[in-house]
Structure 1
Amino acid sequence: MSLTDDETAIRGLIDRWAKAVHAGDMAAVLADHADDIVMFDVPPPNEVRGLAAYRDTWPVFFEYQKRAVFEIVTLEVTSGRDVAFAHALLRCGTEEGFRRDPDSRLRLTLGLRKQDGRWTVAHEHHSFPLAID
């Protein structure tokens, strides 16, 4: 199955974002996000609205990221003419954490829209599975 140009563009956007997160590059993390982004996140605040609030969530994670892994394991993209979604599993954690739980994966879901010929992230959702005994 071959990818469409839009799917290829979206994959590139997500790959750049993940690399920027790992590098702690705030400008690149924000680059392809809509001004009115809504994010549901793991740590509080669990819901943020707007690019300024989204920006404010990253400094603490960047400090954590200095000793952690953040890499895409799987990524699937579905795109239409002006909306798309993507979901991925990422290795996100410390090596010590992966020794305890090597299969731990962060779940990422993105909702994107195309505006003026450019894809932007309008919704971002991060979660970890909850182990229930």
Structure 2
Amino acid sequence: MLRRMGSDVIGEVTVKEKTWCYFKLIIHPDPIIFEESNNSKHLLARYDAIEIDVVTWRTLIIKSLSKLYGLIGEASPFEIIKTENQSLNKTMILKIQLQDKDKFNNSLMSYTFNLNEYYNDLDLNCNIRIVKTENYIGLVI
């Protein structure tokens, strides 16, 4: 919307309503892999070598939503913006609708899984932690 003041045109700034929310997620392995034993060193080396791909992330998120909310949870829309696999940090940025923030927060924080389902010979329990939650993507990256 524009207003006229004398001969100058001044534009009004309209703030767009917030509709999206962004989560930065990380897979957190069972602390047993940080112990000083041969088995834990083997697990740590295997965990460090794997790369969590987009399909695995999507499966983990859908399973977590399904476990807590059933079919309604599975139908919740989301988008995976970016994944990173740097050493022990397996992270991802997730875009969701703002009204689904609590649903995703509750389901992700209560979900545990074993990586053996996705990567053979890696019997390691893990969970997903939310590192950061913001309404703008620039604040999460």
User: Normalising TM by the smaller chain, what interval?
Assistant: 0.3 to 0.5
- Give the strand-richer structure, 1 or 2: 1
| TM-score, L = length of structure 2 | 0.32
Q: Work out which structure has the larger RCO, using CA pairs closer than 8 Å and 6 or more positions apart in sequence.
A: 2
- The structure number with the bigger radius of gyration is 2
Alignment TM-score, normalising by the size of structure 1: 0.34
